[in-house]
Amino acid sequence: MHLGVDDDELATCVSCGLCLPHCPTYRVTGEEALSPRGRVAAMRQVQWEGRPADPSFVRSLATCVQCRGCETACPSGVPFGRLIEPARAALAAGPAPPPWPLRVGLGLLPRHRLLLAASSLLAVAQRLRLLPRGAARRLGLPDRLPVRRPRLRPSGTGEDPTRDVWLFTGCVMDAWMRDVHRDVQRVVEAAGGRVALPGPGAACCGALALHAGLEDDARALAHRTMAALPGEAPILVDSAGCGAALRDYGRLLGTPEAAAFAARVRDVHEWLADRVDRLAAAAGSRGDRAGRPRVAVQDPCHLRHVQRAHGAVRVVLAPFADLVELDDEGLCCGAGGAYAVVEPELAGAVRDRKLAAIARSGAPVVASANPGCALHLAAAGVDVVHPCQVVARALAGAGPVSTPPAAARS
């Protein structure tokens, strides 16, 4: 079958194998089929040599976390993300449609009011102990969903023309971790930004649909998101996965409008890094060395390997925390959007490596700029915060970070 992969791009891999140790699924299994080189060779067999897409092929492709760590490692510059996405779409449309619970879940994400209501309902169920913790974790839910969420308000009042940045709020992050958005907004305002909030149209960037191979759904969501964030103002994103997806709209839709939209997207840390002096000044003596939290930085793959903006997180955090680097070269944590729900066993094995690296670092708190990673790590008992929350607490003079946000705690 033809996988819809570009032949020239498929030809770029020289099979050197230098990607192997940078692939989370190869790392935990040692299996060629679960490595980037193996996946490329498998795609070539099916697209070029006409070999049937047998179960071993489906497993090879379906187990990819799509972390894109292989792209950073590849000396040949193989654009792995551009290979796996159409191949997964071809599988989803053909021999391996996504499982129905995933499709139901993905269908819920853009229906924001329904998502919020369902989320609150589940939160109540949790409080009443009607939803066992194990079941919640299997569904990828936090152990303690918020029953109520703080209300976000744009900077200023009414139709304020001085608002100069959008804050993208998204789907589950808004439903489960809105307190992160609130803190991000405070930090952006402290750095001099005037925040505008999008309407319900920007309730889902489409990343998870795209990763599941549902390209048409992803395109529809991209159009809707673009309409909800008009104008020229920069679009700040505090979720690394969403940011990577929004920045890829130009390629996904192939229109000049989409490319122009994508160019406006910035990870919030990139925007803040340019204004870090102002932030440090705003914190004043509260940012002093004494009492600074020790924070390990976990690089979400879509920040490090796709947006390549992980340096900005360190710039933003440095005045407010003693940073500890993990010694695993930015290997994926196994969250991968819905991956942890679809491939729990592999996701758990990959996470175990990250947990060991966190333990070796000795840091009591981990900063992660992606909600999927935060939830996945928190489900294993790690104290996870968003980097901007560390800054927000320093700005508020709240002292060291010692507790995670309610939504992400174990």
Partner 1 sequence: MGQTALVSASQPTVAHEALVADLAAALAPDRVRTGAVELDLYGRDASVLRGSAAVACFPLDTDEVAAAVRIARRHGRPFVARGSGTGLAGGAVPVGDPVVIVTTKMDRILEVDVDERVAWVQPGVVNLDLTRALARHGLHFAPDPSSQQACTIGGNVANNSGGPHCLAYGVTSAHVLAVEVVLPDGEVTVLGGLDPEPPGLDLRGAFVGSEGTLGIATRIAVRLTPDPPAVATLLLDFPTVEAAAETVSGIIADGLLPAALEMMDQPITRAAEEFAHAGYPTDAAAVLLVELDGLPAGLADAVERVGRIGRSHGARTVRVAADDAERALLWKGRKAAFGAVARVAPNYYLHDTVVPRTRLVEVLREVYAIAERHGLAVMNVFHAGDGNLHPLLLFDARTPGVMDRVHAAGEEIVRVSIAAGGVLSGEHGIGLEKRDLMPLLFSPVDLDAQARLREAFDPDGVANPTKVLPAGSRCGDLQSVPEGVWV
What are the two backbone dihedrals, phi and then psi, of residue 235, each rounded to the nearest 5 degrees?
-110, 110
Residue with smaller CB distance to partner 1, 181 or 305:
305
Q: Are 105 and 175 in contact (CB under 8 A)?
A: no
* CA–CA distance, 370 with 384 (Å, rounded to integer): 10
107: CB partners within 8 A, 6+ apart: none
What are the two backbone dihedrals, phi and then psi, of residue 105, each rounded to the nearest 5 degrees?
-60, -45
Residue with smaller CB distance to partner 1, 30 or 199:
30
Angle between helices 80-93 and 55-62 (to 10 degrees): 130
Residue with smaller CB distance to partner 1, 77 or 101:
77
**Min. distance of Cβ 21 from partner 1 in angstroms?**
5
**Min. distance of Cβ 348 from partner 1 in angstroms?**
16
- The encoded tokens of residue 134 equal 């194990």
Residue with smaller CB distance to partner 1, 59 or 82:
59
Q: Three-state DSSP class for 167?
A: strand
Residue with smaller CB distance to partner 1, 201 or 311:
311
Residue with smaller CB distance to partner 1, 35 or 370:
35
**Min. distance of Cβ 37 from partner 1 in angstroms?**
8
**Min. distance of Cβ 48 from partner 1 in angstroms?**
4
**Min. distance of Cβ 45 from partner 1 in angstroms?**
6
119: CB partners within 8 A, 6+ apart: 145, 146, 172, 175, 176
Contacting residues toward partner 1, per CB under 8 A: 7, 11-21, 29-33, 38, 41-42, 44-46, 48-49, 51-57, 59-60, 74-78
Residue with smaller CB distance to partner 1, 286 or 353:
353
338: CB partners within 8 A, 6+ apart: 102, 105, 106, 140, 208, 211, 212
Output the CA–CA distances (angstroms, integers) from residue 180 to 111, 118, 150, 237, 239, in the order listed. 21, 20, 10, 12, 10
DSSP state of 33: G
**Min. distance of Cβ 40 from partner 1 in angstroms?**
10
Q: 235 has which bridge partners? A: 166, 265
Residue with smaller CB distance to partner 1, 11 or 117:
11
SS (H, E, C) 261-306: HHHHEEEHHHHHHCCHHHHHHHHHHHHCCCCCCEEEEECCHHHHHH
Query: Amino acid identity, residue 400?
Result: P
From the number of C-beta atoms within 10 Å of its C-beta (0-12, 13-18, 19+), residue 130 rates as exposed
Residue with smaller CB distance to partner 1, 13 or 246:
13
**Min. distance of Cβ 259 from partner 1 in angstroms?**
25
**Min. distance of Cβ 54 from partner 1 in angstroms?**
5
**Min. distance of Cβ 24 from partner 1 in angstroms?**
14
**Min. distance of Cβ 39 from partner 1 in angstroms?**
9
* CA–CA distance, 377 with 380 (Å, rounded to integer): 5
Q: Three-state DSSP class for 309?
A: coil
Residue with smaller CB distance to partner 1, 33 or 355:
33
